[in-house]
Amino acid sequence: MKPFSRLQRQIFAMVTSLAFVTIALISLCIAMILYSQGVQNAESVLRNKNRFISTQILGYVEPLRTALLFASSHDVGIDHSRFNDDETRQKILGVFEILQNAIPNINYIFAGYEDGSLLINNYTPPDDFNAVNRPWYQVAIERHPDISDGLPYQEIISKEWMVSFGKTLVDSENNIIGVMSIDASMNAIVDALTTRDEQYPTIYHYVLNNEGHVLIHPDETLPDTLHYQVMSLLTETSDTSGKLHYQDGNHRRMAYFTKVEALGWIIVTEVDIRDIRRPILDIIFSTLTLVILGSLLTTWMMSFVLSRYLITPLQKLRRRVQEIVEGKDESRYIFPNNEIGMISEAIETLTEKALIVKNKELNEKNVLLKTLSHTDQLTSIANRRKMMEVLHTEIAQYKRYQLPFSALMFDIDYFKRINDTHGHEVGDQVLVQLAQVVTSTLRETDTLGRWGGEEFLLICPQTDIHNAKVIADKIFKAIQAHDFPCQLKVSISLGLSEFTDIHSLESLLIEIDKKMYKAKQAGRNRIQVH
């Protein structure tokens, strides 16, 4: 075995030294990144779960609140001030029955009146019953004219979780005459709150009211208690949602909250910090172990390969490159003082003489080809392919950011007559000049393209239908004012639409095409908006 040369020993020493420094820095960065990503992932999981629960709760109770608003309003056609009238009572009970059949979550819907009476289907209250004294009645009075906050409770016999909402009833002079209330099952919401997460087993959800009292909690001993830690932090922020950190005895917890203003609820999702750190530290330890061992092994192997097998080939490569650059064909073996440096100079010389020039020519041809592929050869405006790309881009922008845009399609009236009477050369001139006239009226962000034959398509970003109509009017005025060849009076028929949630690419094109032909059928030389 040949002894290592000085350069080989230098390479080994330098590579090993750099490897230790690099591994230390990389390990530190990896640890920081993994920890940060782990915490961010946990925060994201916590946030998403909290938002899912909040959305599920709101979606569950919103139909109940809507039903209550509808049933208690004058729009339903019932005068609740005549609640003692048998016909009126039957109408009210009929509305109750319809709503219970329409919304399966409703367990009870009933109304109490100022005389203490109760109106409810399939139930007769006891003789000493007084609706005015009931909590749901009093809470609704306090919240007048709004719907009372959702009040969860457990039914005494079945232990089923329920939620109650109340809304005051008023007469024609807006005087309170009673309260209508809906009680609904909350089993689905409670099941969602108690669902465990496999990745973070200590995650759980609970519900507070605006005073910090626990309404629903997996621990059945905690409802009706005050959550001091969370409430003390919530009083310091006006945000409707956010992240919290607090100490609960010996446990450090991270939580995410969402305030559901419509219900007067605060949905809290929390997890023990140790539950987050444990998998992160395990991942960091295993990752760093693999990185350190792999890096050292790879570094030593690379050092050996570089020292043993690359120095001689590099010398030969340098000689051959130099021969090509100088136009020589010598086989004499040369030992350079700095192989990498001399090879770099030789490659640079070759690149300057050939590669750079070829790449520049290729780039210029690519740019030209791209331009030609997107440009109509006659009018020099965008072609149909380019317009389809613009449409796809604008639709993507709308779906992501809700940025409006409008599309205008028009063609030249009686264009065939122009070709037949004056020839295709004059027809081509009309197309070219029309494109120039329309382009001169547009904004920099608008895109005009030739859709086919004498048809043109215009895309106007961030433009609603009213502003699109203004642009169309400018186009009409510019065309009317222009002197076309052979003193032709050129006019267009134009249809326009604004892209909305109901549209797709195909439906938008069909709609503006129909509007354009509707403009033609109505006499041409006009704008069709509807």
Residues 283 and 411 placed together within one structural domain of the fold: no
Residues 393 and 360 placed together within one structural domain of the fold: no
The pLDDT tens digits of the residues spanning 109-147 come to 999 999 888 888 888 888 888 989 888 888 889 888 888
Residues 345 and 248 placed together within one structural domain of the fold: no
Which range has the top average pLDDT, 243-252, 305-314, 338-347, 418-427? 418-427
Amino acid at 151: L
Residues 253 and 365 placed together within one structural domain of the fold: no
How many domains would you assign to the chain? Answer: 3
Residues 342 and 400 placed together within one structural domain of the fold: no
In a domain, 297, yes or no: yes
**Higher pLDDT, residue 437 or 226:** 437
Alpha-carbon distance 158 to 347, whole Å?
A: 85
In a domain, 320, yes or no: no
The model's pTM is 0.47
Residues 295 and 411 placed together within one structural domain of the fold: no
Residues 289 and 389 placed together within one structural domain of the fold: no
Alpha-carbon distance 379 to 387, whole Å?
A: 14
Question: For residue 334, what pLDDT is reported?
Answer: 47
Residues 93 and 213 placed together within one structural domain of the fold: yes
DSSP assignments along 253-297, one per residue: EEEEEEEETTTTEEEEEEEEHHHHHHHHHHHHHHHHHHHHHHHHH
CATH number at residue 76: 3.30.450.20
Residues 103 and 252 placed together within one structural domain of the fold: yes
Alpha-carbon distance 366 to 99, whole Å?
A: 67
Residues 355 and 392 placed together within one structural domain of the fold: no
Where is the domain boundary, 347, 373, 399? Answer: 373
Question: For residue 367, what pLDDT is reported?
Answer: 65
In a domain, 324, yes or no: no
Mean pLDDT of the chain: 82
In a domain, 352, yes or no: yes
Residues 343 and 217 placed together within one structural domain of the fold: no
**Domain limits at 355?**
336-373
CATH number at residue 402: 3.30.70.270
Residues 353 and 439 placed together within one structural domain of the fold: no
Q: Quote the percentage of the chain above a pLDDT of 70.
A: 83
The pLDDT tens digits of the residues spanning 281-291 come to 778 788 878 87
Question: For residue 163, what pLDDT is reported?
Answer: 81
Question: For residue 3, what pLDDT is reported?
Answer: 56
Per-residue DSSP letter, 338: -
Q: Which two tokens stand for residue 530?
A: 């509807």
Q: What does residue 152 show for φ and ψ, rounded to 5 degrees?
A: -75, 145
In a domain, 82, yes or no: yes
**Higher pLDDT, residue 4 or 145:** 145
The pLDDT tens digits of the residues spanning 425-463 come to 999 999 999 999 999 999 999 999 999 889 999 999 999
Question: For residue 514, what pLDDT is reported?
Answer: 95
In a domain, 379, yes or no: no
In a domain, 323, yes or no: no
Say which residue the tokens 């932090």 belong to: 233
In a domain, 454, yes or no: yes
Q: How many CB atoms lie within 10 A of CB 253?
A: 19
Q: Quote the percentage of the chain above a pLDDT of 90.
A: 31
